[in-house]
Amino acid sequence: MSTAPPDPEGTPTDDVARKNFVEQAIDADLAEGEAAAVLTRFPPEPNGYLHIGHAKAICVNFGIAARYGGSCNLRFDDTNPAKESQEFVDAIQDDIRWLGFEWAGAPLHASDYFEELYGFAVQLIEKGLAYVCDLSAEETREYRGTVNEAGRNSPYRERSVEENLDLFTRMRAGEFEDGARTLRARIDMSSANLNMRDPVMYRIARAHHQRTGDAWCIYPMYDFAHGQSDAIEGITHSLCSLEFENHRPLYDWFLENIDGLPHPRQIEFARLQLSYTITSKRKLQELVASGSVSGWDDPRMPTIRGLRRRGYTPEAVRAFCDGLGLTKFNSTHDMHLLENALRSDLNARALRRMAVLRPLKVVITNLEEDARIERQAVENPEDEGAGTRPVHLTREIYIERDDFREDAPRKFFRLKPDGHVRLRYGCVLRCDEVVKDDTGEIVELRCSMVEGTFDGQTPEGLGKVKGIIHWVSAADAVDATVHLYDHLFREPQPLKDGRTLEDDLNPDSLEVVTGAKLEPALGDAAGGERFQFERLGYFVRAEGETEPVFSRAVTLRDSWAKLEKKG
């Protein structure tokens, strides 16, 4: 759909061949014969729902594999059963498929390799490269030292291979309390890289694992599981985020010291940061727990499920991710990019409809009581094949309250007392009278239809009518509830400089509008169906509601709002 036209000049400006630093590295590996086919992996921990940041990682891993004719595994990094669950395993697969990606073969799990991993650990013990340590968690931390200060060797560091083997066997057998002992790599307690100061490989934890049940009471740490899992699967390039940079020496150390394993290359890239939102799992969890949002799938959440309910298309999310670029620079992308990706996708595909959010009744006084003037409205001006639909102009219609002003500012091209405006697909209206109630609130406009103004015609002497507004026939209107969503946070960089959720949450991120008037064609829209409400934005019909409920996915660009803001 968004295929770029071929460059007519044939100039070397093609953006097709432009490669990011990861692809350049892969090219080099391929050229040197370091790797044959490219195999990547997406390794989520099943302890939460996927968000827009994961979408980038998914597009990177699946995208690069596809570009090299390779494939991408889905592997759950399920080494911490206390925090993980099957619920997330299922949800993650669902979200990846929704995005439009399919992994190679069955979904894989680090837990599939627990037995093999255990064997690797035994091998390292036999080589004198791992030992059982009796230090408590707190002591381990103390012994590790700090960034400025070298660590100290554990008093258990010099245990014999036999003793270590015996102890490790008994750890597995469940002879010791949780946390009583660990298996640690024997590397260098004075390393400048804290990750190399005899990192823990296994801890004792009696937690029920969603796949292995109670078969194990010791679980491998990320560092000991991840690289070896990559190697077992024959991953060629293990792409991860920047915070694992300091782990790469350890990743490499395990692979070098375990016999017979291929050596995948870990390459780190910057994770996605988006303005006006957050992608910290913990903070998102907080939003859900505090009731600031209705759940992980609240349409304001940056989760895949949230975006989905918000009305985002997978195509838009992918287009957004593909436009990000891939670097090691810690940057924050503009939320506009995500929104524009959706606008551009839906502009091309969404059918247009008229809907009035805050209705103001207009009586067209020179129209008969039972008049029904049929007009053909264009379904989508970007897609001629979409055709037209009928709309009916009647004596009573609704227009948007915002489209009338008693004291209209300069450049306000809409309706004002004694002013003219064109009804979309209809005639020009003249505002003759403003009807108010006792409190002074405008309850009705009495207007007259100007003869000879259908089909864009303007009779002599009327002058150019610049304003065009949408409307809905009162006789045909379908009532609806509309959810107007805005950014969840009011700050471009939420939670910066110690600010809290309460400080930065946008109090107006959701406005529920009842009594909106929809054109009848919208009444039987299916759940999940998306439309452009003309002049308002893109909306999606909510699922699982019997009465019509629509959610605003994103507004249209609004140059009038911008103008007015400037004053």
Residue ranges in 305-364 that form contacts with RNA under rule CB under 7 A: 323-334, 336-337, 340, 343-344, 347, 352
The one segment of 297-305, 453-461, 482-490, 546-554 that binds RNA by CB under 7 A: 453-461
Is 412 near RNA (CB under 7 A)? yes
Phi, psi of 179 (to 5 degrees): 80, 0
**Is 517 a residue of the active site?**
no
**Is 315 a residue of the active site?**
no
Is 454 near RNA (CB under 7 A)? yes
Is 80 near RNA (CB under 7 A)? yes
**CA–CA distance, 145 with 151 (Å, rounded to integer):** 4
Residue window 471-510: x/- pattern of binding to RNA, with contact defined by CB under 7 A: ----------------------------------------
CB of 437 to RNA, least distance (A): 26
Residue 185 in contact with residue 201, Cβ under 8 Å?
A: yes
Considering 281, 361, 424, 446, which one is annotated as catalytic? 281
Local structure of 224: helix, strand or coil: helix
CB of 544 to RNA, least distance (A): 28
Q: What share of the chain is helix, strand, coil (3-state, %, to 5)?
A: 30, 25, 45
> Which CB sits closer to RNA, 397 or 469?
469
Instruction: Please measure the distance between the N-terminal and C-terminal CA atoms of the chain and give it in whole angstroms.
Output: 39
Is 24 near RNA (CB under 7 A)? yes
CB of 545 to RNA, least distance (A): 25
Is 204 near RNA (CB under 7 A)? yes
Is 406 near RNA (CB under 7 A)? no
Is 246 near RNA (CB under 7 A)? yes
Q: Considering only residues 105-144, where is the footprint of RNA by CB under 7 A?
A: 135-137, 139-141, 144
Is 219 near RNA (CB under 7 A)? yes
> Which CB sits closer to RNA, 265 or 343?
343
How far CA 550 is from CA of 310, 390, 511, in Å, comes to 10, 22, 12
* Binding residue (CB under 7 A) for RNA from 425, 471, 485, 539: 425
**CA–CA distance, 518 with 481 (Å, rounded to integer):** 10
Is 7 near RNA (CB under 7 A)? no
Long-range contacts formed by 159-162: CB under 8 A, 24+ apart: 159/131, 159/132, 161/125, 161/126, 161/128
Is 531 near RNA (CB under 7 A)? no
Phi-psi region of 293 (alpha: psi -120 to 50; beta: other; left: phi over 0): beta
* Binding residue (CB under 7 A) for RNA from 469, 477, 480, 516: 469
**Is 45 a residue of the active site?**
yes
**314-322 and 86-99 helices, crossing angle to 10°:** 80
Phi-psi region of 456 (alpha: psi -120 to 50; beta: other; left: phi over 0): left
CB of 18 to RNA, least distance (A): 5
Is 205 near RNA (CB under 7 A)? yes
Q: Under 8 Å CB-to-CB from 264, ≥6 apart: which residues?
A: 227, 230, 231, 235, 236, 237, 238, 255
Residue 422 in contact with residue 470, Cβ under 8 Å?
A: no
Bridge-based pairing of strands 351-353 and 355-356 is unpaired
The one segment of 64-72, 222-230, 296-304, 309-317 that binds RNA by CB under 7 A: 222-230
> Which CB sits closer to RNA, 286 or 294?
286
* Binding residue (CB under 7 A) for RNA from 13, 439, 514, 546: 13
Sign, CA torsion 516/517/519/525 = positive
Is 170 near RNA (CB under 7 A)? no
Is 209 near RNA (CB under 7 A)? no
CB of 442 to RNA, least distance (A): 18
Alpha carbons within 13 angstroms on the beta-carbon side of residue 557 total 10
Residue 25 in contact with residue 267, Cβ under 8 Å?
A: yes
Local structure of 158: helix, strand or coil: coil
The one segment of 61-69, 284-292, 362-370, 376-384 that binds RNA by CB under 7 A: 376-384
Report, as residue numbers or ranges, the catalytic residues: 45, 271, 281
